[in-house]
Structure 1
Amino acid sequence: MSADRDAGFCALIVMGVSGSGKSTIANALGRRLGWIVEDADRFHPVSNVEKMSAGIALTDDDRWSWLHAVAAEIGRKRASGTSIIMACSALKRAYRAILMHDRRDTRIVYLRGDKDLIAERLRARDAHFMPPELLESQFKTLEEPTEDERPIVVDIGATVNDIADRILTMLERSQTVS
């Protein structure tokens, strides 16, 4: 697959609950496509990180400025002609609308997984501000993407390479149908 605008898109948003593998899959895709990879977590204001570190779930009000900062970064990369993969929870449709900003050249990749598998992954993870106790709030907040959002939906139960292969195959297929 071409890593430029000829591929029909220039931004991917890899989404899912905490522990679904967003950063891991985004980095695997970035290596294969030669695209820049960003993690939306780095755009959180300190107050959000402090809340999550304390085991307090974020509210929509906590998220709006963060989502706009992430969307602005995607817009900056696109404006410079740079393709980007953004790892971002993007749990609600309203959040994804901000990130997508009606851009047809941006696609959602939804990493769907079983709550037990994700909880196990979170417990095994070191040095992350998102405690496993907040997983339930993430699933309560989650609004799975619908068909009109044109998501690429993959199950996280496979290996990283298999997941990346599946995503790239689905992107290629979607380009031949578009």
Structure 2
Amino acid sequence: MLEADKGGLAPQDARWNGSKLRIAIVQARFNEAITNALADACKGELKALGVLASNIDHVQVPGALEVPLALQALAETEQYDALVALGCIIRGETYHFELVANESGSAVTRIGLDYQIPIANAIITTENLAQAVARQTDKGVDAARVAVEMANLLEQLA
């Protein structure tokens, strides 16, 4: 997945070198078929970027609202260079969609800022299942790339 036509990534580019990184993934189980696909794509791309399988931790939580608490607990350990948030929120007939999407997104951002750790937010929000299926692989790959690039950038800036 590192060909130039896949987002312009080049293996020799230091931004994409995950060989020294430790990354944790927090996956919401709600809409599990989608979130499993997100997780598989993310882990596959992390490995393609050089992150060792032994340096990838993967935890699951019930839903998107629980993701931030797990991210916070992982950030507090100071063992990770980056974190990844995975989930899938599909619009229903009630206001609950907006509540879950807004609150989880806000909390993920706050944790990254509070703990100064990059968090790739791939909690996807869609109108329907078809949109979620269409995004499940690309967003998992994107999350891995964001996590590696931002971890390397913060290391450079330190």
TM-score by length of 2: 0.48
The structure that is strand-richer by fraction is 2
Higher relative contact order (CA 8 A, sep 6+): 1
TM-score by length of 1: 0.44
